[in-house]
Amino acid sequence: MEIREAEKKLKIQFKNSDLLASALTHRSYLNENRSFRLSHNERLEFLGDAVLELVSTEYLYENYPHPEGELTNFRSALVNYKILADIARRLGLEEFLQMSRGEAKDTGRARQVILANAIEAVIGAIYLDQGYEAAKEFILREIIIELPSIINKGAYLDPKSKLQEIVQEKRGVTPVYDVLSESGPDHDKVFVVGVFLGSKKVGQGSGPSKQEAEVSAAENALAENEF
């Protein structure tokens, strides 16, 4: 891993570059590289998640005079793993991630989660290396900057809530979700869910849980229909 190149991407020079190296190391890498001298990034992710939540909460409190429920939705949308994964890609961190050969081949949801976790771990590393203000500056520069777009697009409404709001207003009905199929072993289930308005299926999605499959179905319905 070229730590100096990673630092350039992040616009931060670490006093202890081992912290950044750990932040960019997935636990699967250690399974194939037993002699690797550093730890994986899960503890740093745990710390960074807390710092990110505090900074984003503080920023929302100081800049948005909205009710608590709306502020919670704004924050949830901002720290969503998909948004964080996109930010990690924008920063070019994917090329520096150390993971197993198997994980390196995965380009779906699992990769998004790994990227999101890496961003949180990087925040934890910055906090330990340079303190709260440096971590806050990074979060404001690279993450909080996404907030206006999230709010303007209504992306803080989860797809199920957004779909329900639209169809109740325009059709006077409530979407109903049904599991169409279920496959795979208990540890690796795949659910396929359809969303219906009356007897008409308006969307379909899949996921590792019924809840995620329902969200995927709602996203599909919003993308494919003009209600």
Q: What residues are annotated to the active site? A: 49, 120
Does residue 203 contact residue 213 with C-beta atoms inside 8 Å? no
Alpha-carbon span 176 to 196, nearest angstrom: 5
Strand order, beta sheet including 200-207: 176-183, 190-197, 200-207
